Amino acid sequence: MIIEYIPFLIALGIFAIFIFNDQIRKGSIKKTIPHYSSTFFSDLPPYRTFKAIITFVTKKGYQIDDIDEVHLAVILNERMTWNSYGSLYPIYIREQAGRTIVEVGITSKLGKSFLFSTFNKRVLALRLERMLNAIKGAVIAYEGIDENV
């Protein structure tokens, strides 16, 4: 009867909530606080570093949820995959003591309630490291491009 299908229907309902949350959760520069973050220094001036990052993320197909060209900040949205619940990447660029600092953060779209899971912590840390390395590479590659050409 229908009682036999209740566990399946519950699992299907939970999966539908995850998919729905992934589709509607958007990042905001003023509201998105990263759960984990890491920084690196760039030899480029802040605006050129920002331009390099925007060029990279648009070529890679990341969705830009929010962007602030004045404060050099952007929020990237990564959709749900088989090994991730979906992530938001806040990226902030600032100048301090003549050096450009790039801060890359990550937050799960599921929020703080799932941060206690060791699996989720590992997935977020791995995704942050991959994004950080990709952005570093994009900035280093952009350093060799002459903007006047």
Q: Is the domain covering 2-143 a CATH 1.10.533.10 domain?
A: no
In this predicted structure, the answer to whether residue 61 has a pLDDT above a threshold of 90 is: no
Label residue 84 by pLDDT band (50, 70, 90). Answer: low
**pLDDT at position 18, please?**
63
If one counts every other C-beta atom within 10 angstroms of the C-beta of residue 4, the result is 7
Per the model's pLDDT, the better-predicted residue between 21 and 145 turns out to be 145
Residue ranges covered by each domain of the chain: 2-143
Residue 101's identity, in one-letter code, is I
Q: Closest Cα to residue 102, out of 131, 144, 126?
A: 131
Query: Exposed, middle or buried, 105 (CB in 10 Å: 0-12/13-18/19+)?
Result: buried
Q: Which tens digit of pLDDT belongs to each residue from 20-51?
A: 655 566 777 887 788 889 999 998 999 999 99
Per the model's pLDDT, the better-predicted residue between 2 and 146 turns out to be 2
Q: Closest Cα to residue 41, out of 142, 119, 140, 146?
A: 140
**pLDDT at position 149, please?**
46
- The reported pTM is 0.78
Q: Which tens digit of pLDDT belongs to each residue from 87-142?
A: 889 999 999 888 999 999 998 876 655 556 666 778 788 889 999 999 999 999 98
